[in-house]
Chain A
Amino acid sequence: MDEKLIEVVNLKQHFRLGKNNIVKAVDGISFDIYRGETLGLVGESGCGKSTTGRTIIRLYQATEGQVLYEGENVHGRKNRSALKKFNRKMQMIFQDPYASLNPRMKVGDIIAEGIDIHGLAKNREERTAKVHELLNKVGLHRDYAGRYPHEASGGQRQRIGIARALAVDPEFIIADEPISALDVSIQAQIVNLMKKLQRENNLTYLFIAHDLSMVKYISDRIGVMYYGKLVELAPADELYNNPLHPYTRSLLSAIPVPDPDAERARRRKLYDPTIHQYTVLEQPQMHEVTPGHFVYCSERELEQYNSGRAIARANG
């Protein structure tokens, strides 16, 4: 479990919108993804989660920083065949089940797109067989191959999107809010499907979501983003039990609790970024507080967090 599959090093993605208007969608984030794990990435809308995922998979050229896949720089200069190799290893599942399937293509052709591009089937029969196998894998009847996307429901469309990604036999899948556009009852089905596929195909996931409630079930580790920065990264349980960054605490306080009494007592904490009061001299950065638990803070805050933990330990 501790083989690094992906290393993101000081990744930046700045969009220039005008002369003096630069959006720093991702502003210097670093993290590793281990083979076989699910890394959850959460944060409010517009904090740069999608941009992070899209830059990792090279849909956007990084402004600065590196993405290493098995130690190899993804953004470096590549020839065509090396690029194609990467294309097969990394795939993406998208948020909007309506915008992510071409309305003019049959489901079978949508799923087979990767097979066609990479020449993975020798003839039509093999192609059809592969499509049927993929449909079966994601829990859809093979008849879907001959239909158009608009005949499928949101959940079924998301399954088709998953099948399309699986067609090239990837190792790593970026799932960009794959369930947030779906009905709650369907969300669980898709999450279960993704877990099943992870076991069967030994997949590694980067699972993006905007709230913490579903992520905690699927993720081994969770990263929390706030305005282009990663503010906390920890194993899922650790993040739930010992959140350190005030923004993480605020996100956690937003999750409804299944117990009615506790739910009534739940108070939503709001995050106020001015409480840090970073001085000009302080350079907040990622600090490892306990093994595997990173938080973005200044030296001063680090001491506070450490002493807070010491007190908690003494009391507990």
Chain B
Amino acid sequence: MEPMLQDKFKLAGIKHQDADNVSRSGLSFWQDVMTRFYKNKLAMIGLVLLIGLVFMAIFGPHMTGHDYRTNNLSQKNLAPSAEHWFGTDDLGRDVFTRTWEGARISLLIGVSAALIDLLIGVIWGGIAAYRGGRTDEVMMRFADVLYGVPYLLLAILFMVVLGQSLTTMILAMTITGWINMARIVRGEVLSLKNREYILAARTLGAGMSRIMRKHLIPNTMGPILVTMTLTVPTAIFTESFLSYLGLGLSPPLASWGTMASDGLPAIKYYPWRLFFPAAFICLTIFAFNVIGDGLRDALDPKLRK
């Protein structure tokens, strides 16, 4: 049979081994992703905005020499000026300082909510998908039921029972927030767990932990990252919304939400008290959203050249 094979198939072109000599350095997957991300103008604007916001959240409160919590009733409701860049509020506090103090809290809430969602969601969704069968059914049914409960009701319940604080706020944010992450991770793992490279690892004798570390986690990183980036603005918005309903943080703590809700009644006379926090809520949500979208596009293998 062998000679037959030899003369049935002739090597037409160059020898295989020579063809490889045009060597170029290999780009790693993440280098590839970042190159595509950097080419996305909108996402880059978002990134610059975000870096600016974080910078101001760190240094802003110390820039003017005003304190975010000290009342000064002789200076209330002043319009923006050289002394008070964003004006003052009804208790004479500097709005500029309070805005960046609020940025800290809003970002803290957004990022912690995203991290908690990540932790619970990855474990929940990962186990459900990898185990499959009944485990999967029970775990995901539970998530579905929880998802069906009106979110606001749960949040109010939390606030009333546990008292209004930053921790309660973050907790309330994540009661149902992780479900989205769990669903995404589950979908990813489901589609990956029968991928041939995972089967190959299993036939080589790889254990559960090696498969998780080397194969499942690196390959689900992308969608997880995108979901996280999109969770942050949702959490920030939810916080503002809850604060607006009077369920937010208690004074003198400032978040963008509480500032906006305090500023609303005076919108006719002192519009800056609402304008600045509201504008930064919008900017932050915009920044995270375009970064998330940019990441999603950069990670999409179909756009790979």
Determine whether the beta carbon of B196 is less than 8 Å from that of A95.
yes
Given A54-B199, A57-B203, A83-B205, A140 and B5 contact (CB-CB distance below 8 Å): no
For B205, the closest partner residue in chain A by CB is A87
Decide yes or no whether B218 CB sits under 8 A from chain A: yes
* Chain A nearest Cβ from B179, distance in angstroms: 26
0/1 per residue, B217-232, Cβ < 8 Å to A?
A: 0110000000000000
Decide yes or no whether A118 CB sits under 8 A from chain B: yes
Decide yes or no whether B55 CB sits under 8 A from chain A: no
Decide yes or no whether A147 CB sits under 8 A from chain B: yes
Determine whether the beta carbon of B8 is less than 8 Å from that of A101.
no
| Interchain CA distance A103-B301 in the complex, whole Å | 10
| Interchain CA distance A102-B206 in the complex, whole Å | 14
Given A87-B203, A87-B205, A102-B219, A140 and B20 contact (CB-CB distance below 8 Å): yes
Determine whether the beta carbon of B203 is less than 8 Å from that of A90.
yes
* Chain B nearest Cβ from A235, distance in angstroms: 11
| Interchain CA distance A118-B233 in the complex, whole Å | 46
| Interchain CA distance A83-B2 in the complex, whole Å | 36
0/1 per residue, B245-284, Cβ < 8 Å to A?
A: 0000000000000000000000000000000000000000
For A104, the closest partner residue in chain B by CB is B218
Given A102-B214, A148-B28, A117 and B203 contact (CB-CB distance below 8 Å): no
Instruction: Name the one of A92, A105, A118, A139 contacting B17, with C-beta atoms under 8 angstroms.
Output: A139
Q: What is the predominant secondary structure among interface residues of chain A facing chain B?
A: helix
Determine whether the beta carbon of B205 is less than 8 Å from that of A148.
no
| Interchain CA distance A106-B214 in the complex, whole Å | 11
Given A83-B205, A114-B204, A139-B16, A104 and B29 contact (CB-CB distance below 8 Å): yes
Instruction: Name the one of B4, B28, B196 contacting A100, with C-beta atoms under 8 angstroms.
Output: B196
| Interchain CA distance A218-B26 in the complex, whole Å | 35
| Interchain CA distance A189-B200 in the complex, whole Å | 22
For A116, the closest partner residue in chain B by CB is B210
Residue numbers in A under 8 Å from B215 (CB-CB): 102
Residue numbers in B under 8 Å from A94 (CB-CB): 196, 199-200
0/1 per residue, A131-167, Cβ < 8 Å to B?
A: 0000000011101101110110000000001001100
Decide yes or no whether B12 CB sits under 8 A from chain A: yes
Chain A CB within 10 Å, residue with most, of B9, B27, B199, B203 = B203
Q: Determine the interface band of chain B, counting residues with CB < 8 A from chain A.
A: 35 or more
| Interchain CA distance A141-B19 in the complex, whole Å | 9
Which B171-226 residues have a C-beta within 8 angstroms of A?
195-197, 199-206, 210, 214-215, 218-219
For B203, the closest partner residue in chain A by CB is A92
Determine whether the beta carbon of B199 is less than 8 Å from that of A113.
no
Given A113-B204, A141-B17, A217-B4, A102 and B304 contact (CB-CB distance below 8 Å): no
Determine whether the beta carbon of A217 is less than 8 Å from that of B214.
no
| Interchain CA distance A140-B25 in the complex, whole Å | 16
* Chain A nearest Cβ from B20, distance in angstroms: 4
Determine whether the beta carbon of A104 is less than 8 Å from that of B205.
no
| Interchain CA distance A147-B16 in the complex, whole Å | 17
Decide yes or no whether B153 CB sits under 8 A from chain A: no
Decide yes or no whether A171 CB sits under 8 A from chain B: no
Determine whether the beta carbon of B26 is less than 8 Å from that of A148.
yes
Instruction: Name the one of A143, A164, A195 contacting B2, with C-beta atoms under 8 angstroms.
Output: A195
Given A59-B203, A151-B26, A141 and B210 contact (CB-CB distance below 8 Å): no
Decide yes or no whether A41 CB sits under 8 A from chain B: no
Decide yes or no whether A23 CB sits under 8 A from chain B: no
Determine whether the beta carbon of B200 is less than 8 Å from that of A100.
yes
| Interchain CA distance A185-B219 in the complex, whole Å | 32
| Interchain CA distance A148-B219 in the complex, whole Å | 14
* Chain B nearest Cβ from A188, distance in angstroms: 4
Which A25-50 residues have a C-beta within 8 angstroms of B?
none
| Interchain CA distance A143-B196 in the complex, whole Å | 24
For A168, the closest partner residue in chain B by CB is B204
Residue numbers in B under 8 Å from A99 (CB-CB): 195-197
Decide yes or no whether B21 CB sits under 8 A from chain A: yes
Decide yes or no whether B23 CB sits under 8 A from chain A: yes
* Chain A nearest Cβ from B128, distance in angstroms: 19
| Interchain CA distance A147-B27 in the complex, whole Å | 7
Decide yes or no whether A61 CB sits under 8 A from chain B: no
Decide yes or no whether B82 CB sits under 8 A from chain A: no
Determine whether the beta carbon of B5 is less than 8 Å from that of A195.
yes
Which A71-110 residues have a C-beta within 8 angstroms of B?
83-84, 87-88, 90-92, 94-96, 99-106, 110
Residue numbers in A under 8 Å from B200 (CB-CB): 92, 94, 100, 113, 161, 164-165
Determine whether the beta carbon of A143 is less than 8 Å from that of B20.
yes
* Chain A nearest Cβ from B156, distance in angstroms: 41
Given A94-B196, A96-B196, A195-B2, A147 and B26 contact (CB-CB distance below 8 Å): yes
Decide yes or no whether B149 CB sits under 8 A from chain A: no
| Interchain CA distance A88-B204 in the complex, whole Å | 7
* Chain A nearest Cβ from B239, distance in angstroms: 35
Enumerate 18 A-B pairs (CB-CB under 8 Å) in ascending A order. Answer: A57-B203, A59-B202, A87-B204, A91-B204, A99-B196, A100-B197, A102-B197, A102-B218, A102-B219, A103-B29, A104-B29, A104-B219, A105-B218, A141-B21, A143-B23, A146-B25, A168-B204, A192-B5
**Nearest 5 A-B pairs (CB), nearest first?**
A87-B205, A147-B26, A188-B9, A141-B20, A100-B196
Interface of B toward A, CB cutoff 8 Å: 1-2, 4-5, 8-9, 12, 16-17, 20-21, 23, 25-29, 195-197, 199-206, 210, 214-215, 218-219, 301, 304
Given contacts A114-B204, A139-B17, A148-B27, 9 further A-B contacts (CB under 8 A): A94-B200, A102-B215, A106-B26, A117-B210, A140-B20, A150-B29, A168-B204, A192-B9, A217-B1
